């Protein structure tokens, strides 16, 4: 940190000299305007960007026949989440066919990514989505609806031995993932682009809060997927009604905790968040009883039933984590 003294000029104007190295790196010339943005913590942000233009960042990946498909997909997701505006894949020769297929799959998974340029040896992807048009709260609300529906359908598939419904739940997890990637992307963009933070009216600490809750909801979706996968393992096996009823009771309680935690999140109600946390203990008691029940079954059925009970418990516990996030954030905002 550089320390500079405030000076007075003309009897009423306060001035502070700017670091020469920063002036050179931003290519600011004499008489160029700069933007001054007061931050919630009392600090002052100085930026050369005053026209509201977004920051453009490019990322290039070299690919070839030996490139690992899964690794390349992870690179694309990483570049997307990190907030790069343009992603380009380049090859020294002709692009392998699997690269073009992978790019098509990626554009279907990542919101706002489109192919804007293509040659025999390269593909260029560009983000066409205006982040300011996708509010964090709306995205997280959609994630909640999806994850809740997935868990409800997974339990229905378990009780009714519906393999098609269970497989559909597994497929829907991709939708939850892509929405979480969008939240993560916007969070990273706000970190690197102060103009976006101003346009969205969301300070960095609030964006971090949204990202944290989004990550938890995404994990709840993962556990709903796990319930569906274990339901598939039990398609040809019968479980007694007592165990299924107890499992349904636990799932209903977990989803109630989930919904109440999201209500506390959207309203900023720390009392509701605190009350909801108390219900997690009741869920733990119920899932403990389920685990005692499943021990009576053969291992081939007891293992997936035990994993379902564990996922139901984790859904409730993750919902409790949302409540803790709400309390921590709201208390931190209070003056």
- Show me where the domains of the chain are located: 7-47, 58-130, 132-333
pLDDT, residue 294, reads 82
Residues with Cβ within 8 Å of residue 188, at least 6 apart in sequence: 81, 82, 83
> Under a CB-based contact definition with an 8 Å cutoff, are residues 218 and 183 in contact?
no
Segment 323-333 shows an average pLDDT of 94
pLDDT band of residue 55 (cuts 50, 70, 90) is low
- CATH number of the domain at 132-333, please? 1.20.58.220
- pLDDT above 70 covers a percentage of the chain that reads 93
3-state secondary structure of 9: strand
Domain 7-47, classified CATH 3.30.2420, yes or no: no
Answer yes or no: is pLDDT of 52 > 60. Answer: no
pLDDT tens digits along 124-144? 999 998 877 889 999 999 999
Burial 28-63 (b: 16+ CB within 10 A, else e): eeeeeeeeeeeeeeeeeeeeeeeeeebeebebebeb
Token pair of 299 as six digits? 């291992």
Segment 81-107 shows an average pLDDT of 94
pLDDT, residue 54, reads 58
Residues with Cβ within 8 Å of residue 328, at least 6 apart in sequence: none
pLDDT, residue 19, reads 82
Q: Work out the number of other CB atoms within 10 angstroms of the CB of residue 161.
A: 15
- CATH number of the domain at 58-130, please? 3.30.110
**Alpha-carbon gap, residue 80 to 75, rounded angstroms:** 9
pLDDT band of residue 11 (cuts 50, 70, 90) is low
pLDDT tens digits along 139-189? 999 999 999 999 999 999 999 999 999 999 999 999 999 999 999 999 998
Residue for token digits 């939850």? Answer: 176
Token pair of 312 as six digits? 């139901």
pLDDT, residue 53, reads 56
pLDDT band of residue 96 (cuts 50, 70, 90) is very high
> Under a CB-based contact definition with an 8 Å cutoff, are residues 217 and 136 in contact?
no
pLDDT band of residue 226 (cuts 50, 70, 90) is very high
Segment 233-251 shows an average pLDDT of 88
**Alpha-carbon gap, residue 227 to 309, rounded angstroms:** 8
pTM of the full structure: 0.83
Residues with Cβ within 8 Å of residue 246, at least 6 apart in sequence: 286, 289, 290, 293
């Amino acid at each position: 940190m550089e320390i500079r003294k405030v000076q007075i000029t003309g009897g009423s104007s306060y001035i502070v000299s700017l670091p020469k190295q920063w002036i050179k790196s931003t290519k600011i010339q004499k008489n160029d305007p700069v933007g001054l943005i007061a931050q919630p913590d009392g600090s002052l942000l100085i930026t050369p960007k005053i026209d509201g233009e977004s920051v453009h960042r490019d990322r290039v990946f070299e690919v070839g026949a030996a490139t690992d498909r899964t690794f390349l997909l992870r690179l694309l997701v990483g570049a997307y989440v990190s907030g790069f505006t343009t992603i380009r894949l380049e090859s020294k020769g002709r692009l392998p066919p699997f690269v073009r297929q992978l790019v098509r799959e990626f554009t279907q998974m990542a919101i706002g990514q489109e192919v804007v340029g293509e040659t025999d040896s390269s593909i260029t992807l560009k983000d066409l989505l205006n982040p300011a048009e996708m509010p964090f709260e709306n995205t997280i609300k959609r994630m909640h609806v999806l994850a809740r529906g997935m868990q409800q359908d997974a339990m229905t598939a378990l009780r009714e031995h519906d393999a098609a419904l269970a497989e559909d739940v597994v497929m829907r997890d991709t939708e939850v993932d892509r929405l979480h990637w969008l939240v993560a992307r916007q969070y990273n963009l706000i970190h690197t682009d102060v103009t976006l933070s101003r346009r969205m009216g969301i300070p960095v600490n609030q964006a971090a809060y949204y990202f944290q809750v989004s990550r938890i909801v995404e994990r709840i979706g993962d556990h709903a997927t796990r319930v569906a996968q274990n339901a598939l393992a039990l398609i040809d096996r019968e479980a007694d009604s007592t165990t299924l009823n107890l499992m349904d009771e636990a799932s209903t309680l977990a989803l109630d905790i989930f919904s109440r935690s999201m209500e506390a999140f959207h309203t900023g109600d720390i009392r509701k968040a605190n009350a909801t946390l108390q219900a997690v203990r009741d869920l733990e008691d119920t899932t403990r009883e389920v685990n005692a029940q499943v021990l009576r079954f053969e291992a081939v059925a007891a293992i997936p039933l035990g994993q379902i009970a564990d996922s139901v418990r984790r859904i409730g516990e993750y919902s409790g984590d949302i409540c803790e996030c709400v309390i921590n954030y709201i208390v931190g905002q209070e003056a």
